[in-house]
Amino acid sequence: MSKDDFIDTLLSAHMDSILDTLGDGVYITDRDGVTLKVNTMYEKLTGLKREDILGRNVRELKKSGVYNTALNPEIVATGKPVTRVQTNMHDRRMVLSGYPIFDEEGAVTLVVTYARDITMMSQMKDQIAEQRELIEKYHKNFDYFNKAKTQQTPIVVTSAVMTRLVEQIQRIAPTDATVLLLGETGVGKDVVARKMHGLSSRHDRPFFKVDCASIPENLIESELFGYVPGAFSGALTKGKIGFFELADKGTIFLDEIGELPQIMQSKLLRVLQDQEVVRVGSTQAKKVDVRIVAATNRDLAEEVRKGTFRSDLYYRLRVAVLNIPPLRDRPEDILPLTRTFLERFTARYRKRLVLSHAVEEAMKNYRWPGNVRELENMIQSLVITCEKDVVELGDLPGAMLDDQKPTVLAASLACHIDNAAGRPLKEIMAEIERGLIRDALEAHGSVTKVARMFGVNRTTIFRKLHMNDEQPG
């Protein structure tokens, strides 16, 4: 026996054992589709026994329902590899990759098919998707929860009205009552909502803020309630968790709820009534345990009368109502808030900065149309931009000074009078006059504007300044 014959005999004798070492299922057929060999892994993956399929034609096996597709006929006809998904009688799903084996004349003589089980792969894929969804949920929870803890603006309780508000918060927070916060833009509804969550039994659970005015109308349902895979064009293949599910066991803050479209108002009402949500594209309701804090700067009662806000939702929200007053109605809080913000931003930007007496007076007399948010943003801006250690009138925004010229001048006058003790009246009055002009120039940057403000001509302004050996700026 030649060496080649010996090798062929050896391989033939051990072919089954060789095939059984492979990690994929192997299925070998001849050109007519007759099953010649299958390995042990194929039996394990498919649940089919070799004695039940050896010698049988793949067409017959397909017809009798052993499996729903066979690659052999297509590969023999085309002479090209083919890949298909096959489901067999045991509900096992397989990925089949079939390859032609050619004889010396170039005709297909055998077809070798490798089988890989995707039933387990599909299950693993679903499990991975669930795990990713869970990870996404906890990542978002972590981010929002930390923001709730680290980015709180303090509630200043110097004024009597804010003292009463904090007392109300402390009474309501420990309950699970739905809360409606009313007030102008910038009064601190977000701060009150976070305080409500922080004082509740849910304080160690997620807190989510949803700005109903900033989410496009066609997306707000999927953002609030989530969606299932394939719910709409462009949807994520694994679906998405909505804010209500993310906030489960915690608090969801629906800011600007007056902007919510009417169709969403009815869906929100269901959450309030039944404590359950339905994802977009699904019919299955899911229970959620969420406390709702809503806020608006609109007059919801008027919106109900106009028919733009559902009355049943309005009364569902009006369980505990808190009115947050505008900053102009609690002037006692302006300077304490100012100093709180100044301390925070000087620490953040590592700067030393104080406000002059005139600036503090100007702040007390300003109406603050943007409320606490405007004050906070202005202090941050001053800390960033001011190059001196003391903030003067000229550093304040022009709109703020233009809105309150009399009070700015009064503040400047008070500042000069404070330093007038023990000096001749003529000297005091001259200094006050010069100080008023200097402050006005610093605030408005133009001799013409200052002259118009005081009702004199430009020459008078220049003369007054020159009398003090100063040149106009």
Question: pLDDT tens for residues 275-303?
Answer: 999 999 888 999 999 999 999 999 999 99
Q: Pick the last residue of a domain from 271, 305, 325.
A: 325
Domain co-membership, 299 together with 168:
yes
Domain co-membership, 256 together with 346:
no
Q: Pick the last residue of a domain from 86, 117, 148.
A: 117
pTM for the full predicted model: 0.60
Specify the CATH number for the domain of residue 179: 3.40.50.300
Given a cut of 90, whether residue 143 has pLDDT beyond it is: no
Quick check: helix, strand or coil at residue 45? helix
Is there a contact between 349 and 360 (Cβ–Cβ < 8 Å)? no
pLDDT band at 5 (very low <50, low <70, confident <90, very high): confident
Q: CB neighbours (10 Å) of residue 462?
A: 15
Domain co-membership, 334 together with 317:
no
Region of poorest pLDDT, from 38-52, 103-117, 141-155, 171-185: 141-155
Residue 180, pLDDT score:
97
**Among 53, 34, 33, which Cα is nearest to 42's?**
53
Domain count, the chain: 3
CA 204 from chain center: how many Å?
19
d(CA 431, CA 468): 9
Domain co-membership, 275 together with 397:
no
202 compared with 416, residue with greater pLDDT: 202
- What's the average model confidence in pLDDT over 233-254? 86
Q: Which domain holds residue 333?
A: 329-466
Specify the CATH number for the domain of residue 414: 1.10.8.60
The full DSSP string for 69-121 is: --SHHHHHHH-S-EEEEEEBTT--EEEEEEEEEE-TTS-EEEEEEEEEE-HHH
- What's the average model confidence in pLDDT over 250-258? 95
- What's the average model confidence in pLDDT over 116-131? 66
On average, the pLDDT of the chain sits at 85
Residue 150, pLDDT score:
40
Strand 354-355 relative to strand 390-391: parallel, antiparallel, unpaired?
A: parallel
**Among 310, 321, 296, 291, which Cα is nearest to 212's?**
296
Residue 67, pLDDT score:
93
Quick check: helix, strand or coil at residue 11? helix
Convert the pLDDT of each residue in 423-450 to its tens digit: 677 777 777 777 777 777 776 667 887 7
Quick check: helix, strand or coil at residue 418? helix
238 compared with 111, residue with greater pLDDT: 111
Domain co-membership, 254 together with 183:
yes
Q: Pick the last residue of a domain from 269, 295, 325.
A: 325
d(CA 313, CA 173): 21
Residue 419, pLDDT score:
59
Residue 168 lies in a domain: yes
Residue 473, pLDDT score:
40
| Alpha-helix runs per DSSP H in 258-310 | 262-274, 300-306
- Alpha-carbon distance values, 161 to 18, 158, 182 (Å): 87, 9, 14
Residue 350 lies in a domain: yes
Domain co-membership, 155 together with 287:
yes
Residue 248, pLDDT score:
92
Convert the pLDDT of each residue in 159-201 to its tens digit: 999 999 999 999 999 999 999 999 999 999 999 999 999 999 9
Residue 151, pLDDT score:
47
Domain co-membership, 285 together with 318:
yes
Given a cut of 50, whether residue 472 has pLDDT beyond it is: no
- What's the average model confidence in pLDDT over 101-121? 87
Residue 239, pLDDT score:
84
Domain co-membership, 91 together with 158:
no
Given a cut of 70, whether residue 418 has pLDDT beyond it is: no
What contacts 59, CB < 8 A, 6 or more positions away? 33, 70, 73
Residue 413, pLDDT score:
58
Domain co-membership, 168 together with 293:
yes
